[in-house]
Structure 1
């Protein structure tokens, strides 16, 4: 994909975005676990939603 855009292989912007997405996912999972503990229900997982 990078060969078409001419962007360097290790684009710092892509690295920042990837890190931000990973951090966001971790935060959302932690929030879901906290809500599940408060509700007394198990946390919903991706597999639960996708059947």
Structure 2
């Protein structure tokens, strides 16, 4: 699996850690899930707008 890096504001890092704790997952897993869901939402929104 390829690796990427991104800089995020402190507030988003804190929110990420809170969600990871709620889901009882590590940060990497939480980021992958958030990205997957976010990409799905973006695709749907783009399709609706077109």
TM superposition score normalised by structure 1: 0.48
Please say which structure displays the higher CA radius of gyration.
Answer: 1
* Higher relative contact order, structure no. (Cα contacts within 8 Å, ≥ 6 residues apart): 2
